Structures are given as structure tokens and as C-alpha cells.
Amino acid sequence: MARDIEARRTRYNGETFRSKLEAQWAVFWDELGVKWEYEPQMFELPDGKQYIPDFWIVDLALWVEIKPNAKIAREEDAKWKCEQLAYKTGDRVYLDQGGFAWPISEDWAYSNAFVAGGAEVYSVLFYYITGHVEGDFIYHSENHYWATCPECGKLGIAKDLREGYSINYIFSCECYTRTRHLSLHSNSEIVMKAYDKALKYWS
């Protein structure tokens, strides 16, 4: 039943989304001034099946696939599709399979789709690595979250280290690199405001 509710077509900003959850992500990005495109391109996978990623995030050159939970993601082979998309395009691919999820911190709130304690994988970032000593391959890294750069305020994706810090993985700015750390307590409140608006938009 929950899946039927989640998959209800939803109209927002002139676009018809396949689910309310996808529309909520669009609200989230709009609130942060991030340009997105919904289902802009179809790809043919190695098994001959056609696949249309949910979003292309223009600012970050990032494909995003949205699933309501890990169980449905497994049923629909979401990780395999994202891996193939990363391999085919050379672009980074972000799979969210937990709704809106945030790292544990006294300054952050998160939806009940996220299991406190971090045992559940709620997101996976895939990217194609070339020129490695063992050959080209697809790298996947688990549990990232959306954050803003504390210096310039631009949106990006960071890796949660569960030690009060995070690695900056993808940002549209050049203030930080992957080897530098961001404090979870320094994230801008505009991200949480966008999150709250997206959750409450149809309530």
C-alpha cells in the first residue's frame, strides 16, 4: 500500500512526476536554486532494456535516481542500472533509496525513512574511474547527503563519516576538495528549510 501511495503521479511546476517523492526532490532543488531536468534522456543498457534516469542535475553534472527504499531499489535492480549508466556516460550517478535522509547530528533533522545508527544504506554514489592500475572500473560509495559549502553556499554532496565530519565529494564550487573535511555543524540552514518545504508541500 505504501508503495502505491508513493508512486502516485504528482504535478508540480508544469511537470508531471511519476511519484510524489520525485516531485518533492524537485521542490527541494528549486528552493536551493539548483537547475534540474526530469527524465531528459533514454539509455539502452547492455541487456537491451531501456532506462530513463529520473533527474539530471545540471549544476553538478550528476544523474539522480530516486527510490523510496532499499527494498524497492533491489526489486528494480536500481544499483545495476546506475552502475551501467555511470559506465555508459562517464558521469557521476547518485542513487537515493531512503527518501530524504540526513546524517545524525544535533543540528540536523531527518525523515523516518532513515534508520538512526547508520546501519541502512540510504544513498549510493557511482562514478567511473579511468586509468587505474587495475583498469577502468565503477566505484560506488555509500551514504552521502546534500549540503552547502560553508564558504560560498553552493550545493553539493558530501560523504558522511559518522565522526562529526564529512568529506566533500561533489560541489559546484572550488572552495574545497575531496581531501578536506566539512563539519556537519556548519551546514547552512537553507538546506533544512528546503527539505522542510519539500516535505510539507502537499500536506
Q: Judge whether 45 lies within some domain.
A: no
Cβ atoms of 62 and 126 within 8 Å: the answer is no
Kind of pairing, strands 92-96 and 15-17? Answer: unpaired
Q: Number of folded domains in the chain?
A: 1
Q: Judge whether 179 lies within some domain.
A: no
Q: Judge whether 121 lies within some domain.
A: yes
Range of the domain at 22: 2-39+50-143+188-200
Q: Per-block average pLDDT, block size 10, for the chain (203 residues)?
A: 60 94 94 94 92 95 92 92 92 86 46 44 81 68 78 75 61 62 59 85 78
Cβ atoms of 148 and 191 within 8 Å: the answer is yes
Residues contacting residue 127 through CB under 8 Å, at least 6 positions apart? 86, 91, 92, 93, 138, 139
Q: What is the pLDDT of residues 192-202, one digit of tens each?
A: 788 888 888 87
Q: Judge whether 168 lies within some domain.
A: no
Q: Judge whether 100 lies within some domain.
A: yes
Q: Judge whether 153 lies within some domain.
A: no
3-state secondary structure of 168: strand
Q: Judge whether 44 lies within some domain.
A: no
Identify the DSSP state of 115. P
Please give the Cα distance from 18 to 169 (Å, whole number). Answer: 29
Can you give the pTM of this predicted structure? 0.82
Q: Judge whether 169 lies within some domain.
A: no
3-state secondary structure of 48: coil
Cβ atoms of 122 and 143 within 8 Å: the answer is yes
Helix, strand, coil abundance in the chain, percent, nearest 5: 25, 30, 45
